[in-house]
Amino acid sequence: MSNPELVIMRTGVANLASITAAFRRQGIEPHLSSSPEQILSAPMLVVPGVGAFGAAISEMQAKGLDQALLERLSQGRSTLAICLGMQILFEGSAESPDFKGLGFIPGRATSFPASVSSPQFGWNRIETDENCQLLQPGACYFANSFKLDHAPAKWSAARARHGESFIAALEGPGLLACQFHPELSGRLGQGIIKRWLASSREGSGSC
């Protein structure tokens, strides 16, 4: 059997139905996997996330997915990380202080200020850096209690505001990491997914 073109990583803490449906609308059939070998070798990988930071890290470590994902990212292989799937790439999170993240993206996830509702559920406008290639400004759907405050050096970023400015998404070599849910963000989200697929297949652009 040939290797699947697109793999969605099973973290054990994510609802995968909406992500699977989003890619089917783009004419591609995703393959769900918790195999470290497939996580490393898949032409395109999606790292989803709904749940707690510590639980996700523990599940990945138990299955050897953490090291496979780190190796994949270090090779610049095309990867889309969504919501908690983005946060596990950080050094850590205020949600689970006793757990270390993968540390691929510098920084730690912090809580929203007490002056705003948390978690943030709903639509929020993102604004993009001028050098973003896959992201576009517009309204996207968020469901998050934690966020990255500052973009690391040399990463292209989109930002949103919920009480204070935070990083809505990052573009870097081989990686598109979205704090929002592109699969739930209507036409704009489908456009992001479509451009990520095209960029991945072409091997061009920041991803």
CA gap 2, 100 in Å, rounded = 35
**Cross-sheet strand order for the sheet of 92-93:** 92-93, 108-111, 146-147
Six-digit token string for 142: 């968020």
Six-digit token string for 194: 């479509």
Cβ contacts of 72 within 8 Å, gap of 6 or more? 39, 40, 45, 79
The residues annotated as belonging to the active site are 83, 181, 183
- Please name the helix (run of DSSP H) or strand (run of DSSP E) that holds residue 203, with its range, or none: none
